[in-house]
Structure 1
């Protein structure tokens, strides 16, 4: 059973807006002009690429950006498995790219995992961008993903600060259990999502038997890199 324990340290803070497999045995074809093998010709039976395959890629209407995950850190040296995947790789006006984060307890006993929000990359920023919650997190199932009505402009940027309650919470995970949650990618400071690579990282702490009053049993930093690219969906 998932429990949430939090120590209230303050009231509201705010996000400061800142910024197929080939065959090497295929014989070479001969150039008809010279009757000599020509390694630059395509293999027999291959007339080269189909022009239709060279057409522009199609995107959902209104798409302005596409996001991909280009790097993730190795498994940390604490008994947690952390994974990140794309829930929605496209950004459009009012609909940011979304990611799904999952944290699994690999130990033989119950662990408290904190910080509660940072563990799922909620409110974690990088170079003028920030990841914000998209719905509630869930334990041992996929979360229900929703897109909150954050104050944004037409190019994925927040137009106002986001209030954040100041407390330290944990996820209490029995052995083998996982917690999962979705986040959306936004630009800060009323800016726009810009093409480039963005490195996000957070620090994990574990507590034996889920007791945040006990001494930390482990700590590690884990992160990933996103690539943002502008696209033309017209």
Structure 2
């Protein structure tokens, strides 16, 4: 075979291989780059039930939960007090709430004072961070926060409650943060708090009956 013939055959073979490679390598033939996975994992937004600030606020509520941690033994008077949690968490609709019940355990009529304090109405804790107020009323506090914007005025009158033998009376009290003179705007604090009040029995409306006094209280935790 002449040199010219061999050169022509070699060139044709190279051209054929190039065409085959082009058909096999292009796939779609449009020049697009291979498909890649562009998806990105989304951050986990599962509700853990905790306050983003690091507290233990129950999920879906506006404040901490309330737990009774200790309750005093019944005082040595004919009136037996008890306390229980009625609403255990703060929400935008209501603050935490307690129910205080007093029972006359004697077989005689008993007069007890002061009529509001014995139900822990307008009674603050030992540190003056919290205050219990009669339920069902409106107070100057932001819903969901429940700290008073201003102090609550209380009349100086001395009220007396009368209990027939075996009679029980109950009252609901709401838990608020006490107003602060320094303008502190925090909501309900967390921690343990002690509430205590004084009961006066007998001799409240005159007569020869001897007056007896006793203190009673409980501790609660906000967490």
TM value normalised by structure 1 = 0.64
Partner of 2:172: 182
- Unmatched 5+ residue regions in structure 1? 1-54, 135-145, 230-234
Structure 1 Cα separation of the partners of residues 200 and 77 of structure 2: 9
Contact 1:94/1:156 (8 A) holds in 2: no
Partner of 1:203: 198
Structure 2 Cα separation of the partners of residues 212 and 185 of structure 1: 32
Query: Secondary structure of the equivalent of 1:157?
Result: coil
Partner of 1:193: 188
Correspondence list, 1:48-59, <5 A: 59=58
Contact 2:114/2:200 (8 A) holds in 1: yes
1:182-205 deviation line (CA, Å, top 9, x unaligned): 000010125421110010000001
Q: Which has the larger radius of gyration?
A: 2
Structure 2 Cα separation of the partners of residues 191 and 56 of structure 1: 21
Query: Secondary structure of the equivalent of 2:173?
Result: strand
Measure how far apart 1:107 and its partner are: 1.2
1:60-86 deviation line (CA, Å, top 9, x unaligned): 623421000010000101111110001
More helix by share: 2
Q: Provide the alpha-carbon RMSD of the alignment.
A: 2.0
Measure how far apart 1:92 and its partner are: 2.2
Cα 1:184–1:216 shift into 2, 3 Å: farther
More strand by share: 1
Partner of 2:211: 217
Measure how far apart 1:171 and its partner are: 0.6
Query: Secondary structure of the equivalent of 1:166?
Result: coil
Larger RCO (CA under 8 A, 6+ residues apart): 1
Cα 1:181–1:60 shift into 2, 3 Å: farther
Structure 2 Cα separation of the partners of residues 99 and 131 of structure 1: 9
Query: Secondary structure of the equivalent of 2:64?
Result: strand
Structure 1 Cα separation of the partners of residues 96 and 195 of structure 2: 15
